[in-house]
């Protein structure tokens, strides 16, 4: 197994990033990337020597100070001042997995040779990545417009031996960790501070992390929904391929196909039914889960484009001999995609909670609240409350952030994406979806017990045997928090042990 990933211009796929993370690969610059970085840097140095006119972000101030020219002898101080002054994030710390993705994506963006970064600067970011020296970054502070300025400033601070990092499970001063490795602080050259701070790597890292998690939860929603369908004595006819080929949305077809596969060989699904229809939360899983799948594909394409792109400013084009100040740092494509992801994933939670409600309602021969002696035992009454509470919270989180904007930098930056807020909201929402699905699994596994001696499909029965090792059948009331937490751990372990496909 190759334990190294070479940074190059080869298109990055979601599956590639997943492999890098799962296999804990080190990253190394390819010869192609080294050549592009060095060529761009040499061009920029020559341009500064031979040209006296101001070039935005290279020998000028920033934002509304773009018309203030800076002398050549102050260019390093200009870049360091930029990093320090913009490192004003606040709030909770960004999860370490996302910080590591930010490092990776920043290296990828700088490697295309349109940013003017020094080779040693890019290499130090790689050193941080490979040695798990993770800058401490905060969730609040980015407007998602001039790049993720505040978060990326915190990402860059340790390059100049400032700020803090997480290393070996402890929060340390960056300078101390640099000394431990024998790394000298980077002397930032012209344009480098802006190359580091402009960019969408905060939003992109959140998006990639959440996409990988969302694909897995989408798979689990189909699987757990299939268990619920069998436990509720549901019908298989709405999942017949004929139904979906006359309304051929890709996700709808895929969901129906999965449910049929999960329930193949089930005694429960094939036995005679007294009812002719199921509630929508069961019958319309292909349509609802499928629409979420189609959204995931759209969001995936947006982020695939973004992580294979140059998103800082200005952009340097060596062959064309041009340095152009544009707006590739603006996060609007990501803000819209993240909002769309929020809405689509929240619907998996909405429909899951409705299945939970049906299962505990004492319908179709199931005991009220899925427990013997209801009254003496409250049984699964309150887990449904918990799921309903989370669903309501998700409706608030799913409110689009991208419809908002606010003027900054004395009016120079007069439209912003709010994509960073969408990203952190989406993180909370997707975590909530896993919790709702865990509660559904807890309920469905309990309900299916009351269908004995009939059995579900071989794949579901095998899964439930493994689950029962971790979470026992509930005979009478107990602390349900523990059962939900154990179910969450079971789902996490299952995802790690089974590399679910991104389709």
The residues that are catalytic are 56
Report the 3 state secondary structure along 308-331: CCCCCCCEEECCCCEEECCCCCCC
Rounded CA gap, 205 and 41, in Å? 26
Handedness of CA 24, 436, 340, 413 (dihedral sign): negative
Strand partners, 413: 408
Rounded CA gap, 28 and 382, in Å? 51
245 and 253 Cβ atoms separated by less than 8 Å: yes
Residue corresponding to tokens 């309501």 = 392
CB atoms within 10 A of CB 503: 12
Rounded CA gap, 494 and 500, in Å? 10
Give the pair of three-digit tokens for residue 389: 């509470």
Rounded CA gap, 33 and 152, in Å? 22
Rounded CA gap, 149 and 162, in Å? 16
Query: Would you call 227 helix, strand, or coil by DSSP?
Result: helix
CB atoms within 10 A of CB 362: 12
For residue 271, the Cα-to-chain-centroid distance in whole angstroms is 41
CB < 8 Å & 24+ apart, contacts of 374-378: 376/476, 377/476, 377/477, 378/477
Rounded CA gap, 149 and 331, in Å? 11
Rounded CA gap, 144 and 415, in Å? 10
Give the pair of three-digit tokens for residue 341: 């992801």
Rounded CA gap, 102 and 415, in Å? 24
Give the pair of three-digit tokens for residue 93: 């710390």
Residue corresponding to tokens 């606040």 = 90
430 and 295 Cβ atoms separated by less than 8 Å: no
Nearest to 330 by CA among 195, 196, 151, 200: 200
Residue corresponding to tokens 């960790």 = 177
């Amino acid at each position: 197994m190759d334990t190294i990933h070479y940074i190059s211009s080869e298109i990055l796929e979601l599956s590639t990033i997943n492999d890098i993370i799962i296999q804990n690969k080190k990253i190394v610059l390819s010869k192609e990337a080294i050549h592009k970085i060095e060529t761009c840097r040499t061009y920029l140095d020559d341009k500064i020597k031979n040209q006296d006119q101001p070039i935005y972000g290279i020998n000028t101030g920033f934002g509304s100070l773009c018309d203030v020219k800076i002398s050549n002898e102050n260019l390093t101080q200009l870049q360091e001042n930029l990093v320090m002054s913009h490192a004003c994030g606040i709030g909770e710390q960004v999860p370490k997995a996302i910080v590591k993705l930010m490092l990776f994506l920043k290296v990828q963006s700088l490697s295309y040779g349109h940013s003017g970064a020094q080779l040693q600067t890019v290499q130090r970011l790689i050193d941080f990545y490979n040695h798990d020296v993770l800058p401490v970054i905060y969730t609040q502070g980015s407007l998602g417009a001039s790049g993720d300025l505040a978060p990326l400033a915190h990402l860059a601070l340790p390059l100049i031996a400032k700020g803090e990092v997480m290393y070996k499970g402890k929060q340390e001063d960056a300078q101390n960790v640099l000394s431990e490795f024998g790394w000298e602080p980077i002397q930032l050259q012209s344009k480098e501070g802006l190359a580091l701070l402009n960019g969408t790597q905060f939003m992109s890292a959140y998006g990639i992390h959440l996409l990988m998690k969302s694909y897995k939860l989408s798979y689990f929603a189909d699987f757990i929904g299939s268990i619920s369908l069998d436990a509720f004595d549901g019908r298989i006819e709405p999942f017949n391929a004929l139904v979906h080929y006359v309304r051929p949305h890709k996700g709808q077809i895929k969901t129906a196909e999965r449910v049929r596969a999960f329930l193949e060989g089930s005694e429960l699904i094939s036995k005679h039914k007294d009812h002719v229809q199921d509630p929508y939360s069961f019958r319309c899983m292909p349509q609802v889960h499928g629409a979420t799948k189609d959204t995931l594909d759209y969001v995936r394409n947006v982020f695939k484009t973004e992580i294979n792109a140059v998103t800082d400013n200005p952009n340097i084009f060596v062959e064309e001999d041009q340095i152009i100040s544009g707006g590739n740092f603006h996060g609007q494509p990501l803000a819209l995609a993240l909002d769309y992801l929020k809405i689509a994933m929240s619907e998996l939670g909405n429909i899951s909670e409705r299945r939970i409600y049906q299962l505990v309602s004492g319908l179709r021969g199931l005991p009220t609240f899925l427990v013997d002696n209801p009254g003496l035992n409250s049984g699964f009454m309150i887990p449904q409350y918990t799921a309903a509470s989370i669903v309501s919270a998700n409706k608030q989180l799913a409110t689009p952030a991208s419809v908002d904007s606010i003027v900054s930098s004395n009016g120079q930056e007069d439209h912003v994406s709010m994509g960073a807020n969408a990203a952190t909201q989406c993180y909370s929402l997707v975590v909530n979806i896993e919790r709702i699905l865990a509660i559904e699994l807890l309920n469905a596994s309990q309900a299916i017990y009351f269908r004995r001696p009939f059995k579900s499909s071989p794949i579901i029965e095998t899964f439930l045997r493994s689950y029962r090792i971790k979470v026992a059948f509930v005979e009478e009331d107990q602390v349900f928090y523990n059962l939900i937490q154990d179910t969450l751990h079971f789902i996490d372990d299952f995802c790690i042990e089974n590399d679910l496909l991104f389709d």
